[in-house]
Amino acid sequence: MNLNDPTLLRTDSYINGEWVQAPQNRRFAVTNPATGKVIAEVADLDAAAVTSAIDAAVPAQAAWAARTAKDRAMVMRGWYELVLANAEDLAVILTTEMGKPIAEARGEIAYGATFIDWFAEEARRVCGDVMESPIPDKRFLTFKQPVGVFGAITPWNFPIAMITRKVSPGIAAGCACVLKPAEQTPLSALALAELAHRAGIPAGVINIVTGMDAPAIGSTMCEDDRIRKMTFTGSTEVGRILMRQSAGTLKKMSLELGGNAPLIVFDDADIDTAIAGTMASKYRNAGQTCVCANRIFVQDGIYDEFAKRLVAASDAMKVGDGMEDGVEQGPIIDRQGLDKIERHVADALDKGAELLTGGGRHDLGGTFFQPTVLSGMTPQMQMFGEETFGPVSGLFRFSTDEEVVAMANDTEFGLAAYIFTDSTTRLFRVSEALEYGMVSANTGIFSSEVGPFGGVKSSGLGREGSKYGIDEFLEIKFVCVGL
């Protein structure tokens, strides 16, 4: 791994401002999914390390919260500027450990940095209220105060942006965190911690615990009553476990969980826009995003032309090592992910789907999979109810608005949905009818630090980003003053 600043490649955990090894120097391997080669050996800490991180975070949080919002914002601004200054190295680390194309990695670094910048500014806008009192000799006020120490567990598919989207609002609000990054991608998290350290974020405010025993680390966070909030991005199954484990201490929860995004293309859509949007949504990060299109519904009048154009666009994609020039799709993160993709494709074909292109492992070997398009999909197939998390487009045909809204909503999940139409009335009518936390109309990319990110139903609780994101890390205190 060629870095301009090799000191960004950290392999020990970061607790209380120091780099910490595991007992007996236990380590686990981090591999490049494009080559299968080990790129680093990272400290394999256990649940006891979480407790020590919490021990450090509690006093650090009190001191950090006592500083002015402007002071916190200025320190965070320094972190933001360091992330931008080291963006290329961060992108190389991210692509090497995760596999996405370097161009996508650069985009993620820029996107992730916006959350640091945004919430540094939002820190100075946390305001309470003086409320109208119904009692003449009393005055009613509200204060907003930091919730305290929070635990965070982040996924491997966006190892920079998922950290900044969670950590930035928390520390802007005056909280401190203990964070467990995914074991597949700890190097990005540790590089961010190094830059936070250089920026002057005080010891104990950000703590990174790396380790393979995710259940023990997670349960320790949930069961310690000094952690007052948990924030997690990952599967619905694990989200439910964390919620149950946090029930005993009644923590605030932010959960961004599984998706099963419908992408709906109506007859009146601009087909060029729809194809471009579908490619951006479906194949970004090799389909390994929680908001990528999982079920593609195309209306009768445009179905055949859309399928033909989607196949051509899919076949034109360059698959390979993300560090190579021009690569648009990298590898699947691991064998488990690859097995699920193969299972979904096989199930669809067994139940009558037609394979239009792709359908199997790529000639590159390893965990590379061909961009795939399937036609004639039905609700009886696994892809209708389960998130594939891979570069497979399953096309469902529909006739009426009512029919497609019913199919789109026929899932326990409700994270993101996409619609393509040139009708303004249809856009509003369908957007309001879809049971999803986010609807993207006539574009396949919608994420921004300004927009609230989150789902409904089994896709989670709370919102990240936007002016609402910092509220997840604040408590409202009511003060009644007698005159």
Position 291 in a domain = yes
**127 catalytic per annotation:** no
3-31: string of b/e by CB count within 10 Å (b at 16+)?
beeeebbbbbbbbbbebbebeeeebbebe
253 and 266 share a domain? no
User: How many domains does the chain divide into?
Assistant: 2
The structure tokens listed for 115 are 């959350």
58 and 204 share a domain? yes
Position 1 in a domain = no
Q: Is 371 left (phi over 0), alpha (psi -120 to 50) or beta?
A: beta
Determine the straight-line distance between the first and last CA of the chain, rounded to whole angstroms. 67
Q: Taking the CB of residue 133, how many other CB atoms lie within 10 A of it? A: 14
Element at 161 (helix H, strand E): helix 161-173
236 and 301 share a domain? no
Q: Taking the CB of residue 213, how many other CB atoms lie within 10 A of it? A: 16
386 and 365 share a domain? yes
Distance, C-alpha 37 to centroid of its chain: 26
Position 34 in a domain = yes
Q: What pLDDT, in 10s, does the model give residues 265-279?
A: 999 999 999 999 999
Position 454 in a domain = no
d(CA 115, CA 105): 16
132 and 36 share a domain? yes
Beta strand extents in 199-306 (DSSP E only): 206-208, 227-233, 252-256, 261-265, 293-299
284 and 320 share a domain? yes
Position 453 in a domain = no
Largest CA distance in the chain: 79
Residue from 290, 328, 449, 472 carrying the catalytic annotation = 290
Q: What is the dihedral of CA 127, 79, 19, 207, to 10 degrees?
A: 20
Position 64 in a domain = yes
Domain of residue 401: give its range: 261-448
Quick one: pLDDT at residue 391?
98
d(CA 93, CA 185): 9
Q: Residue 86 belongs to a domain with what CATH number?
A: 3.40.605.10
Using 70 as the pLDDT threshold, list the residues of the chain that sit under it. none
Position 33 in a domain = yes
Q: Taking the CB of residue 335, how many other CB atoms lie within 10 A of it? A: 11
277 and 170 share a domain? no
Q: What pLDDT, in 10s, does the model give residues 291-316?
A: 999 999 999 999 999 999 999 999 99
The structure tokens listed for 469 are 């994101």
The structure tokens listed for 355 are 């394979």
475 and 338 share a domain? no
Q: Residue 288 belongs to a domain with what CATH number?
A: 3.40.309.10
Burial class (CB in 10 A: 0-12, 13-18, 19+), 336: exposed
Element at 189 (helix H, strand E): helix 186-199
Quick one: pLDDT at residue 1?
85
Element at 43 (helix H, strand E): strand 38-43
Residue from 256, 387, 464, 472 carrying the catalytic annotation = 256
44 and 95 share a domain? yes
427 and 466 share a domain? no
231 and 297 share a domain? no
Element at 217 (helix H, strand E): helix 214-223
Side chain identity at 424, as an amino acid letter? T
96 and 173 share a domain? yes
**256 catalytic per annotation:** yes
The structure tokens listed for 58 are 């509690």
d(CA 208, CA 221): 13
